Structure 1
Amino acid sequence: MFTGLSAFPLTPTDETGIDERAFRKLVERLAAAGVDSIGALGSTGGYAYLTREQRSRAARIAVDAAGGIPVMIGIGALRTSDVLALAEDAQNAGASAVLLAPVSYQQLTDDEVFGLYEDVTAQLSVPLCVYDNPGTTHFHFSDELHGRIAALPNVGAVKIPGIPADRAATRIAALRSQLPDGVALGVSGDQLAAGGLNAGADLWFSVIGGLLPEECLAITRAAAQGDAARAVELSERMEPLWELFGRCGSLRVTSAAAEHLGLVGTPNLPRPLRGLPAEARREVAAALDALGVRA
């Protein structure tokens, strides 16, 4: 399942819980668009703000609504025991894979992170994707540590931060040399994804793909067909969104975009997170209108 476009939908949430109807609709849109996989309860899905019960329920909704499209479920948590419980819930829900970042309050050592993945992969019956997200976890993987973890049983992919286009080929080749055969390498950082795909990444783990799957599939397919210039051109058309991502945060921009398209209500982010101010919302609306995006 670790090829092409993996789209990560918002989990619309307020202080009373998840808007299950809206969440189902978001996942169904992705399935209808034909994304290669769906990443539920990732960072865009707000996994860290939800209870185990809410996450279990969301996982079941995502798998059901995906209509056969493979679903990867985020299982990150502070304690290994909680990660193992979430992994069990995800597998019971029918997940095709799980996504795990080394979430922590205390700064983790390399041995502690390796131990986390060692403990979790030993209990899995589905593939695991290593989530390298230093901007959130404040943990920086070395290539050597990636290689050690990727050699564990049931590791199927590594998700790395975006790479500037002029360094993408070198970075991907260097990391791939540390990974066992059969472990996929995927990029995130939507604004840099075209360069990563053109440089040989196996897949794009996309925030905005969870809301605008057709536009992101076009970029992904162009890169897969060897049309690097077209992939870059399509990505550059989305530059107003990329600029907003950098300035306001991808989650808040995606939240505002989903509201503008009438796909979710307001509020849809768990406190203390807040939606964008009015001026930024107008910029999001203008960016979507320029792309011709409709719900």
Structure 2
Amino acid sequence: MRAGKARKIAPRIYTTNLTDSPERIIRDNLYPILSRLFPGTVLSHRTALEGKPTKDWDVFLTGPYPRKVVLPGVTVRIFKGPSAGEEDKPFMGNLFMASQTRAFLENLQPSRKRSASPKSIQRKELEERLERILRLRGEKALNELRDNARRVAKNLGFKDEFKTLDRIIGAMLRTKPASSLHSASAKARAAGEAYDPDRLRLFETLFAALKATPLREAPEPHSDPEALRNLAFFEAYFSNYIEGTRFEVEEAREIVFEGKIPDTRPQWVRRTKAATIPEQSGHRSGAKRPPFRTKRPPL
């Protein structure tokens, strides 16, 4: 330090970086620094669930005693609690990362309402995370999480937190009352009307973009009845084809335009009256229709 090759930027923290600000250095090297300052502690609560500091750069740890340590650019909040369990994995040297199961349980602990960055995420957000697991990975994954939570809660003393988690998961699986749910997606799931909020947001973005963008109208080059009829036929043909209803084009033409019922269709279908094509505008009833084109009209 006397030679000007290193400097102190916080208690017990020295660096040879003489250019960047202390805030920048600590944020860029956050987890190695925490590993040296607080060995054996567990990254917990919302830090474990979100996998990053809060927007105010608060980091939550669990250790043998409570502390609050303010570093340049970062505030470290340590809560007294159980040490790393079997499912908590080593992380960046001397730290541990709480398992997803433990993180869900910890985020059901009450937080101080006055805190700018509470240690737990909002109940609504927690339910949305659980609903997303159910939506993307199915009931089996959510049941496995609950089973793991039951074991973790017993080992770490999270009895009350597990009761709450069990009620939430049970409500979304429609085995428990849904009156305690907070999020819209969880309530819809419990009511049997689940939807995908991620897709909904994308559609809302698309809708807003379309409303704000004037689109050029493309002229329709084929407007005569015969061309439109042939176009509709081929669109219906390929739509059915990709869904598994497959006929040769000539066979499909006979079904649509001549009302022929295939011999492979069930007996009750063959007994029904063959469907007829409504007369197109410009063709009198009983008049001979234009011949079916075997080639799609040019578009």
TM range (shorter): under 0.3
Higher helix share: 1
**Which structure has the bigger radius of gyration?**
2
Q: Which has the higher contact order (CA 8 A, sep 6+)?
A: 1
| Structure-2-length-normalised TM-score | 0.24
